[in-house]
Structure 1
Amino acid sequence: MKRIGFLSFGHHQAVPGSKTRTARDALVQTVELAVAAEELGVDGAFVRVHHFARQQATPFPLLAAMAARTSRIELGTGVIDMRYENPLAMAEQAAQADLLSATESGEGRLQLGLSRGSPETALRGYESFGYRPADGETDADMARRHTEVFRAAIAGAPVAQANPQMVGNRSPLAIEPRSAGLPDRIWWGAGSRATAEWAAEQGMNLMSSTLLTEDTGVPFDELQAEQIQRFRDAWARAGWDREPRVSVSRSVLPLIDDETRRYFGRRSEHDDEQVGWIDGGIARFGRSYIGEPDIIAKELTADEAVRAADTLLVTVPNQLGVDFNARLLASVVQDMAPALD
Structure 2
Amino acid sequence: MKGFGFLSFGHYRNGSSVGAREMIRDAADIGVGADELGVNGAYFRVHHFATQQASPIPLLSAIAAKTRYIEVGTGVIDMRYENPLYLAEEAAALDFIADGRIALGISRGSPEPADRGWESFGYNGSADPRGADIARDKFDLFLRAIDGEPIAPAASGGAPLRVEPHAPGLRERIWWGSASSDTAEWTGRQGLNLMSSTLVFSDTARPLHEVQTEQIERYRAAYAAAGHTRPPRVSVSRSIFPVVSAQDAQLFAVLGAREGHDGFGMIDGQTATFGKTYVGEPDQLIEALRADTAVTAADTLMLTIPSQLGVDANLRILESFARHVAPELGWKPNTAGPVVGYPAA
Please classify the TM superposition score into its range, dividing by the shorter chain length.
Answer: over 0.9
Question: Does 1:219 find its partner at 2:207?
Answer: yes
Question: Does 1:180 find its partner at 2:172?
Answer: no
Secondary structure at the aligned position of 1:231 is classed as helix
CA RMSD, Structure 1 to Structure 2 (Å): 1.6
Question: Does 1:8 find its partner at 2:8?
Answer: yes
Secondary structure at the aligned position of 1:239 is classed as coil
Residues in 1 aligned to 2:6 and 2:137: alpha-carbon distance in whole angstroms: 29
Q: TM-score normalized by structure 1?
A: 0.93
Question: Does 1:133 find its partner at 2:122?
Answer: no
Q: TM-score normalized by structure 2?
A: 0.92
Letter in 2 for 1:10: G
* 1:24-43 aligned within 5 A: 24-43=21-40
Letter in 1 for 2:304: T
2:275 to 249, 263, 286: 286
> How much has 1:217 moved relative to structure 2?
3.9
Partner of residue 65, structure 2 = 68
Q: Which has the higher contact order (CA 8 A, sep 6+)?
A: 2
Q: Deviations over 1:169-201 (max 9, x none)?
A: 421000000112211111000001011001111
Return 5+ residue gaps in structure 1 as ranges: 103-107
Question: Does 1:199 find its partner at 2:187?
Answer: yes
Residues in 2 aligned to 1:264 and 1:216: alpha-carbon distance in whole angstroms: 31
Partner of residue 189, structure 1 = 177
> Contact 1:133–1:141 (CA<8 Å) still a contact in 2?
no
Secondary structure at the aligned position of 1:160 is classed as coil
The count of corresponding residues between Structure 1 and Structure 2 is: 329
Residues in 1 aligned to 2:117 and 2:301: alpha-carbon distance in whole angstroms: 30
Partner of residue 268, structure 1 = 256
1:157 to 141, 149, 158: 149
Return 5+ residue gaps in structure 2 as ranges: 331-345
> Contact 1:77–1:111 (CA<8 Å) still a contact in 2?
yes
Partner of residue 105, structure 1 = none
> Contact 1:209–1:250 (CA<8 Å) still a contact in 2?
no
Letter in 2 for 1:303: D
Residues in 2 aligned to 1:263 and 1:280: alpha-carbon distance in whole angstroms: 36
Question: Does 1:257 find its partner at 2:215?
Answer: no
1:297 to 264, 286, 305: 286
Secondary structure at the aligned position of 1:161 is classed as coil
How much identity, in percent, do the aligned residues show?
A: 52
